[in-house]
Structure 1
Amino acid sequence: MNYLQGDTVLLRALEPGDLEFLYAMENDPGIWGVSGTLAPYSRKVLKDYLDRAHLDIYEARQLRLAINSRRESHLVGLVDLYDFDPVNLKAGVGILISARHRGHGFGSQALRVLCDYAFGVLQLHQVYASVGVSNAPSLGLFRKAGFRETGIRLHWLRTPEGFENEVFFQKFRENVS
């Protein structure tokens, strides 16, 4: 099987044909605050990234997957495991749904499928996420997915309005007190 499957989404490896979607997402200044980006990416840089996307998570320390709608068979977003730590069995989780596909459950389903993979296949002990306090949709997404709010990083994110706090979430494979 070359994909991970949920009821409404398929998570699959990035393909060369995803270049334009990746270009549009990575160059949207509206998400730069979430991704830590300060400047646009060229198509060449993103093509080079796609050329290396086949690397194993143990080598690259990251796994980025395309989120496809099963019903409409098209790309709706991206989901990542990043800062993969095979010694401590943990990884960060990032998710980005295109603006026109938000609010349709793709994020929730993709996050569930990714967590099932992280815990079931990679045997991770935990996954974690960091979300700015003003990002209400993402805060709701991670809470609904069973992530626990375990900390606040004060003045962590620089925004056009000033510094913003960031919520730190964790989800464990087994119940941890």
Structure 2
Amino acid sequence: MVTLKGDKAYLRALEPEDLEFVYAIENDESMWKLSNTQAPYSRFLIRSYLENAHQDIYQARQLRLAICLTEDNTAAGLIDLFDFDPDNRRAGIGVVLLERYRNRGIGKEALRLLVDYSFTHLRLRQLYANIDVSNTASKMLFTNFGFRCVGVKKEWNNRGTYFEDEELYQLINNNKTI
């Protein structure tokens, strides 16, 4: 049985009503370096994205879910599978939480829910995350979950006045029955 619900948070598909929420996250310049965003997104583009969010992961090669609080259904962030590769049974994974919901175990629970879903339902062999070397909170979240740093991409991301290294974290599903 697949469940995307935990004690503190649950994951759900994006809905048309999430337009303003997704718009706010995508246009928060403080988060742009997490997704290598260079310019703001319009409501029109996000509305179009949401209209096509019903595509299954095998069509879209990505899955974006809202992270919601179980206590009041508030959307607190987003969690993504991207670069989905069913042949090699792997995908990238990313998490973004609004600042007011950080350090409360919500990101950890959302990560656990999506990892479990990825390994049991999608039958993935591995997940990976690309994390800036300066993003200690994300590095701690992923390493505490069992992801291991397997490489460093030197001077990978342009930060305007300097280039920042990016680390590649990987979690391999060692369940031999998949």
Same fold (TM over 0.5): yes
**Counterpart amino acid of 2:23?**
Y
Q: Deviation digits for residues 37-65 of structure 1, max 9, x if unmatched?
A: 11110101000000000000000000000
**Counterpart amino acid of 1:60?**
A
Deviation at 1:175, TM superposition (A): 6.9
List structure 1 segments (4+ residues) > 3 angstroms apart after TM superposition: none
SS in 1 for 2:4: strand
Q: Could you say which residue in structure 2 is the equivalent of 1:82? A: 82
Supply the distance in 2 between the matched residues of 1:160 and 1:33 (Cα, whole angstroms).
Answer: 11
TM-score by length of 2: 0.95
Deviation at 1:83, TM superposition (A): 0.3
Q: Could you say which residue in structure 2 is the equivalent of 1:170? A: 170
Would you say how many aligned residue pairs link Structure 1 and Structure 2?
176
Q: CA RMSD in A?
A: 1.6
Q: Deviation digits for residues 108-150 of structure 1, max 9, x if unmatched?
A: 0000000000000000000000000111110111111110111
SS in 2 for 1:38: coil
Supply the distance in 2 between the matched residues of 1:48 and 1:3 (Cα, whole angstroms).
Answer: 28
- 8 Å contact 1:3–1:13 — kept in the other structure? no
What aligned pairs does 1:67-146 form with structure 2 within 5 A after superposition?
67-146=67-146
> Runs of 5+ in structure 1 lacking a partner?
none
Deviation at 1:160, TM superposition (A): 3.2
TM-score by length of 1: 0.95
Supply the distance in 1 between the matched residues of 2:145 and 2:2 (Cα, whole angstroms).
Answer: 25
SS in 2 for 1:142: helix
> Runs of 5+ in structure 2 lacking a partner?
none
